[in-house]
Amino acid sequence: MLRIIFLTILSVLIIATSFTALSATPIKHGLRDKDGRHMIPRGYVINTNDHAGAVDFNAEDYLRMVRMGANVQVIRLEMGRLSEFGQSTFEPEYLARIKRATKLGREAGIKTVFKMTVYGARGFSWQALYLDKNNEQQTYINAWRHIWDAFKNNDAVIGYDLVNEPRKKTMDISYDDLTNQYLIPFYEKIIDAALPYSDNKQFLIQTIFMNKGEAIDKNQYAEIKQKINRKNIVFAPHIYQEHIDYIAPTMERFDKESDLLNAPILIGEWGFPTFVTTDNSVKEQLNYIEFYIKTAEIFDQMGVGSIKAWFLGNRSYQNFLPGGESTWAIFSDKQAIGTVERKYITDIIARPYPQLIAGDINNFLFNFATRTLDINIISDNSKGASRIFIAADRHYPDGFSVHVGDDLILAKSPISKGFLVKHAANNTTPHDIVWDEDRQQLVILAWPKNKAEINIKIKPGVYQHPDPAAKNND
């Protein structure tokens, strides 16, 4: 019995430490922008419709997204408005709405990924799509062509999530065989059709969403065990895990699949849905905070990007979980364009992180207990400016300080506009670090040292030099 207990503790420690070891080399996750800067994608699923009708955001809403940490939006496309499945027809006005949302994103500094869902596609069948007896795959690809053609020259669009949560349903086939014999060849077929439009977009792929009751270790997404022989692949699994002990093992499995695919991970959707009762229960909210923080910390330790569902109010609920009516909406308003935050969720989503780094990110972590952001990079000033999302309005109401190695310490008081220079070594330029109040971002025009390992720390409170005599000698 003692041996079993020891092995159990040891296995837990191995899982815990596998995500906390510091790396001296760049993390494999994240993306690169056109200038080669290391980008951590983070943002929200943007619904074009909910159960009650159309949803259209405005410029102010996009600024709210930015102030909540977004640098990427994933627009959820409805195939029923883009395809010819069954009685569905292509709706040009729907594409116009998509173009407007992409434009608003660009103007706010948000990149766009499109996700194809099968919502509204009357006559659609997963089995028919896989077997392709009546050219269903070409019908599916034709729906994508409307998007590829419209955005082929738009550098604000970085990629396409090709098939959202593919299903097995009633097919008499194993998940491995369905993946290897049907899903992966279909992915390759879609990518081949997309390349003539643009060969520099990213292709996001998911795995089979398993039937109810068939989850393995509480992970309802089947494992991918075969490589996809195409370039520009991003692995975009979903994780809706409320069981705290299963978060790390799930992410470890995703990491293994990422290695097989030779593709970075971008968590395409995350965050267990909220029950109606949670908004009125401190106990339930504390439970959410615990497993949301655990999930967020593992994301940061791995360096993966993540997209939260949904940037939406909840004028409608879903009723498919034992706990009753629930929603993924992060606002509690009974309207589509929500503004009343579920802060037990949003404060975790909108945590500080390195958005865009001129150089390579080795590792980063926001410690919720101490409110400290710790980032290790290798700088490269030839790639341009860097941006770090701070969220001072929610995480640092008491002000914060910026420590760039031993070279520079700046302090931002909550009642002053600019930085106070607390320490600046020779050959540093404090004015190269700028506070963007509107976007809650730190802009670094140039790092104090180029082609060098640099540690950046963001700490709460207005920094006071621990040694007054040393302060006078700075």
Q: Which amino acid is at 329?
A: A
User: Number of H helices and number of E strands within the chain?
Assistant: 12, 26
Distance separating alpha carbons of residues 41 and 268, to the nearest angstrom? 10
To the question of pTM greater than 0.85 for the whole model, the response is: yes
Q: Where are the alpha helices (DSSP H) in 390-446?
A: 392-395
Q: What phi and psi values does residue 261 have, to the nearest 5 degrees?
A: -80, -10
Cβ contact 325:317 at 8 Å: yes
Those residues with Cβ within 8 angstroms of residue 87's Cβ, 6 or more apart along the chain or in another chain = 122, 123
pLDDT at position 8 = 34
Burial class (CB in 10 A: 0-12, 13-18, 19+), 44: buried
Those residues with Cβ within 8 angstroms of residue 282's Cβ, 6 or more apart along the chain or in another chain = none
Q: Which domains does the chain have, with CATH numbers?
A: 39-350 (3.20.20.80), 359-473 (2.60.40.1180)
Classify the C-alpha dihedral 6-9-14-15 as positive or negative.
positive
User: Beta partners for 239?
Assistant: 270
Closest CA to 395 of 368, 374, 419, 418: 368
Three-state DSSP at 408 gives strand
Torsion angle, CA of 228/149/58/265, rounded to 10 degrees? 10
User: Beta partners for 159?
Assistant: 113, 202
Those residues with Cβ within 8 angstroms of residue 224's Cβ, 6 or more apart along the chain or in another chain = 179, 184, 207, 257, 260, 261
Q: Which amino acid is at 335?
A: Q
Find tokens 């990007």 and name the residue.
305
- Count of C-beta atoms within a 10 Å radius of residue 158: 21
Left, alpha or beta for 342 (phi > 0: left; psi -120 to 50: alpha)?
beta
CA–CA distances in Å: residue 43 to residues 111, 158, 162, 273: 9, 14, 18, 17
Cβ contact 365:300 at 8 Å: yes
List of long-range contacts for 180-183, beta carbons under 8 Å, 24+ apart: 180/225, 180/226, 182/130, 182/131, 183/130, 183/207, 183/208
**Extended strands (E) in 209-348:** 233-235, 238-239, 266-270, 274-275, 305-308, 318-321, 324-327
What is the full per-residue pLDDT of the chain (474 aa) written as tens digits? Answer: 333 333 333 333 333 333 334 456 899 999 999 999 999 999 999 999 988 899 999 999 999 999 999 999 999 999 999 999 999 999 999 999 999 999 999 999 999 999 999 999 988 999 999 999 999 999 999 999 999 999 999 999 999 999 999 999 999 999 999 999 999 999 999 999 999 999 999 999 999 999 999 999 999 999 999 999 999 999 999 999 999 999 999 999 999 999 999 999 999 999 999 999 999 999 999 999 999 999 999 999 999 999 999 999 998 889 989 999 999 999 999 999 999 999 999 999 999 999 999 999 999 999 999 999 999 999 999 999 999 999 999 999 999 999 999 999 999 999 988 899 999 999 899 999 999 999 999 999 999 999 999 999 999 999 877 665 554 444
Distance separating alpha carbons of residues 133 and 274, to the nearest angstrom? 40
User: Beta partners for 454?
Assistant: 377
Per-residue burial over 194-220, b = 16 or more CB atoms within 10 Å of its CB, e = otherwise: bbebbeebbbbbbbbbbeeeeeeeebb
